[in-house]
Structures are given as C-alpha cells and as structure tokens.
C-alpha cells in the first residue's frame, strides 16, 4: 500500500515537502523546500526533518524556488545520497539559487556571531555549508519533459515531468507505481502557472490520476487578466513620474523578474517608458535572466516572437534602458537618484536582499511607489506592507511608511481560483485530491467549490498527516 505524508506546505504556502512511500519506489520526497519569513539564521536553525534523511531513496523536485528546493543541502548533510530528479532547466537554475542562498545565510550568520561575541553569548554553528550545496547539485539528474525515467531499482516505478507553466523548468510530476500487479498514478502539481502568463506556456493538462496533490495558493480569488497589467503598470509609472519619485519592485529572481523586464520592454517599445532608468539590482536575478535567455525554446512562442520582431535575442536587449548592477557600490549609487528610477531587487517577499536597503532610503518618501508582483507569505515584511503597516523595522530602526503601496496581482506566477478549478476538471478520472501549498482560508474556499462543482473526494492534510492510496 502506498502512502503520502505532507511535512511542509500543509495548510501553509512555503516549505514544500511530501514523502511518498511505496514498495515500488521506496521512500521518495516530492520537493524539499525551506520555510520563508522571519530571521533567516533562526529560521534555518529551527528547520527539522521529521524523518531520517539517510532513509530517503530519491527526491523529485518540481522547480527551483527555494520554498521547494532550499533544504536539499541540509538533506544531503543529514546523509541523503540518492538522486535528485528534475528538469534540465531546473538543474541549471538550482545552481544559482542554492549558491546564492548559502552565501546570504553564511554572511547573516557571521554578522549574528559577531554580535553574539560582543554580548558574550555563545556562537552559532553553521547548519550547512557550500560543500553541502555541491553535494546536492552533483546528485541532480535532468529529465526532459514527457520522458519517463525509472524511479528506483527495476521497472516498478517511474517519473514523468510535464510543463507547469510557473517558472522556467517548472514541472507537474507524474509518478507511476506498480504494486501487486496494479498500476497506481500519483500526480503532484508543483506550482501551477497562469494560463495567460507572459513568457510561460500554459500548464499541461493531465487526465488520469489515482491521487492528486494540488497547489491552492490563490484558491480563494482570481487574478486580473494579464492584459490589464500593462495598463496598470503604465498608470503607476505615470503617477510616480509626475510626483518626481522612484519605483521599487521587490521581485523573485526566478520568473517574476523576467516577466517584469518583458512588460517594461513592451512599454519601452510603445514609447511609454521615456525618461525612466531601469535597474536590475540583483546579482542572482541577473544570472537567472541569462539562464532564461539560454532556454528561450521552452518559453511561450508568441512572447518570444516579440523579441525577434524587435531584433533582440535576449530579455535584457529587449529593454535598452536597463542597467545591471551586480556590485554593491553600483547598488548603493542608485539611492542617490532622486526620481525617475525603477529599481527591481530581491527578495520578492522582502525577507532579505537589496530591496530592504532601497526601502531604507525611500519607503518614508510619499512620492515613491512600491509595487508588489507576487504572493506575500504570512510573517514576511512584504505581507506587513501589503496589509497596510504604517511603520516597519529595517536594520534595527523604525521607518514610517509613506510610499504608495501597490500590488499587480496579474503578475502572480500562480494560477487563480478559476484556473485551478479548470485544471482539476481536466481529469477524466476522479482522483483523491489533496490541497497543499495554500493558507487554510484559501484552501477551504477552493475545497467548497471543488466539492460543489466537481464532486471531489478531497482532503486538506495537516502537517504530518499520512494518507494511503
């Protein structure tokens, strides 16, 4: 009998981690992500596996975002020595993501230990290091979309990836198990993209499953149409320009940044970006954008045609007013610009990165605008701002929030409620459906609609709950 146990992204959005156990494949993890929000050092030291990493036979990785992949080095440090199966594009992105994450973590840890030493407190040992990142990366095996790959010894289990349309390389994971002469099919949605997202193709629609793990991030609401985004973004830029301010955009390095660059490039080519200076102020996002250029063949054909029509071969060339600022001195110089700057910087939920430094210089100025472009998890600075905080703490000091706070919901990389319902309706079978990767309120709303319209057999698993199938 096979079973699935959710150890993360269970009635929460981050920390995706689900353990599949079956005689056909052994013990296989679906994702191994870190939780987000709060102090990065404290958060990592609080992370504990509810299983022995050495007992895991393989990892199936849906995509490269850290809330799905960030604990892979910790898993390896704990004794995991199996393969990490993912798409080739995910493997390439993962090298950037994990090295950036460990670099930020070790720098934060060094800062905290200097402070502890001054106060006579015990020093904190690193919970993982660069060598663990390299161990994880060496375990990655790239599997192309729609190609079956053996999972474990023999031919009793296999994995097949399908395009999830979320970010480059993101996958819907289809696992086939042979148990006692019967075939069982598990489908793990990973994160599903929007059907009208720029750059990304529409999520693949599958028709058969015995059990379905389905994300529910936006289970309680729909996004505005993607076509409205350019109008909304143009209006925000016009209003900020008239006030003589700057625009700060906290952006996820993978996916969201590239979509923002594409939209800004479109505005430039229609004459709507005259006078603005655009800064991509994230070393990781710069590297990721180069990876996107390398894998253009995986992106939406119609959107890539726009690059060809503009005689450009990369996203950066599509936006000629763009400046890349990988160096710290270049980043600091941006804050001397009093108006007319569009600053794209990480992190997307403002939990770290350079965006917090730009906030320090501009969040208290009423002529500036902060534009959020994606989901903000509970406990993050981004969520506080979206929820209307009047004051925030940055680098130990309190700042009043006077900048305009705006959200471009259409730029989310996640499917909205109707798209989730439509994707679930594509299954001809009626699989047991587990709603994961969502806050409980959103999950309950989606569950009610799925039960009413599709007569779903549905569970919203709690953390640690095991379900047999």
Structure confidence at residue 308 (pLDDT): 85
Q: Which residues of 211-224 are buried (b: 16+ CB within 10 A; e: fewer)?
A: bbbbbbbbbbebbe
Structure confidence at residue 311 (pLDDT): 85
12 touches 44 (CB < 8 A): no
What is d(CA 49, CA 247) in angstroms, rounded to the nearest whole number?
40
Cα 265 off chain centre by: 23
Retrieve residue 111's tokens: 């800062």
47 touches 67 (CB < 8 A): no
Q: Where are the alpha helices (DSSP H) in 65-87?
A: 66-69, 72-77
Neighbours of 204 (CB within 10 A): 18
What is d(CA 63, CA 73) in angstroms, rounded to the nearest whole number?
15
* Residues lower than pLDDT 70 in the chain: none
Model confidence pLDDT, tens digit, residues 86-141: 999 999 999 999 999 999 899 999 999 999 999 999 999 999 999 999 999 999 99
Structure confidence at residue 190 (pLDDT): 98
Model confidence pLDDT, tens digit, residues 368-413: 999 999 889 888 999 999 999 999 999 989 999 999 999 987 788 8
Which of 97, 139, 108, 137 is closest to 45 using CA atoms? 108
Neighbours of 428 (CB within 10 A): 9
348, β-bridge pairs: none
Q: Cis omega before residue 284 (within 30°)?
A: no
* Domains along the sequence of the chain with CATH: 3-221+413-468 (3.60.15.10), 227-411 (3.40.50.10890)
What is d(CA 284, CA 304) in angstroms, rounded to the nearest whole number?
22
Q: Which residues of 260-293 are buried (b: 16+ CB within 10 A; e: fewer)?
A: bbbbbbbbbbeeebeebbbbbbbbbbbbbbebbb
Residue 234 buriedness (CB in 10 A; 0-12 / 13-18 / 19+): middle
Q: Where are the alpha helices (DSSP H) in 191-252?
A: 227-242
């Amino acid at each position: 009998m096979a079973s699935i146990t959710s150890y993360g992204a269970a009635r929460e959005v981050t920390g995706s981690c689900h353990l599949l156990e079956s005689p056909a494949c052994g013990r296989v993890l679906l994702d191994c992500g870190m939780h987000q929000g709060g102090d990065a050092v404290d958060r990592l030291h609080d992370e504990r596996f509810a299983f022995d990493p050495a007992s895991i036979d393989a990892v199936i990785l849906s995509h490269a975002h850290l809330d799905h992949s960030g604990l892979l080095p910790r898993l390896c440090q704990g004794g995991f020595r199996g393969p990490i199966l993912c798409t080739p594009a995910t493997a390439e992105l993962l090298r950037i993501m994990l090295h950036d994450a460990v670099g930020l973590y070790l720098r934060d840890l060094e800062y905290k230990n200097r402070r502890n030493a001054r106060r006579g407190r015990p020093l904190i040992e690193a919970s993982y290091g660069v060598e663990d990142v390299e161990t994880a990366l060496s375990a990655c095996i790239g599997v192309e979309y729609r190609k079956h790959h053996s999972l474990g010894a023999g031919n009793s289990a296999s994995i097949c990836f399908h395009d999830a349309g979320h970010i480059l390389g993101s996958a819907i994971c289809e696992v086939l198990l042979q148990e006692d002469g019967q075939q069982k099919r598990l489908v793990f949605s990973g994160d599903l993209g929007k059907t009208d997202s720029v750059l990304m193709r529409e999520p693949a629609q599958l028709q058969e499953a015995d059990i379905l793990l389905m994300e529910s991030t936006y289970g309680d609401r729909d996004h505005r149409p993607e076509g409205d985004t350019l109008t909304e973004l143009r209006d925000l830029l016009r209003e900020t320009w008239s006030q003589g301010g700057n625009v700060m955009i906290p952006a996820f390095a993978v996916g969201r940044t590239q979509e923002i660059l594409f939209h800004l490039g479109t505005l430039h080519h229609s004459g709507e970006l005259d006078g603005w200076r655009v800064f991509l102020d994230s070393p990781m996002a710069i590297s990721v954008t180069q990876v996107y250029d390398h894998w253009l063949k995986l992106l939406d054909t119609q959107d890539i045609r726009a690059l060809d029509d503009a005689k450009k071969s990369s996203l950066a060339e599509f936006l000629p007013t763009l400046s890349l600022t990988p160096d710290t001195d270049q980043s600091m110089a941006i804050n001397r610009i009093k108006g007319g700057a569009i600053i794209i910087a990480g992190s997307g939920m403002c939990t770290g990165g350079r965006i917090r430094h730009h906030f320090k210089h501009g969040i208290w100025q009423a002529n500036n605008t902060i534009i959020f472009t994606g989901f903000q998890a509970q406990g993050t600075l981004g969520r506080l701002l979206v929820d209307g905080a009047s004051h925030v703490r940055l680098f130990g000091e309190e700042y009043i929030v006077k900048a305009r706070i705006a959200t471009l919901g259409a730029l989310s990389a996640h499917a909205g409620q109707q798209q989730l319902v439509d994707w679930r309706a594509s299954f001809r079978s009626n699989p047991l459906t587990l709603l994961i990767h969502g806050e409980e309120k959103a999950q309950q709303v989606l569950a009610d609609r799925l039960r009413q319209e599709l007569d779903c057999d549905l569970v919203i698993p709690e953390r640690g709950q095991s379900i047999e199938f």
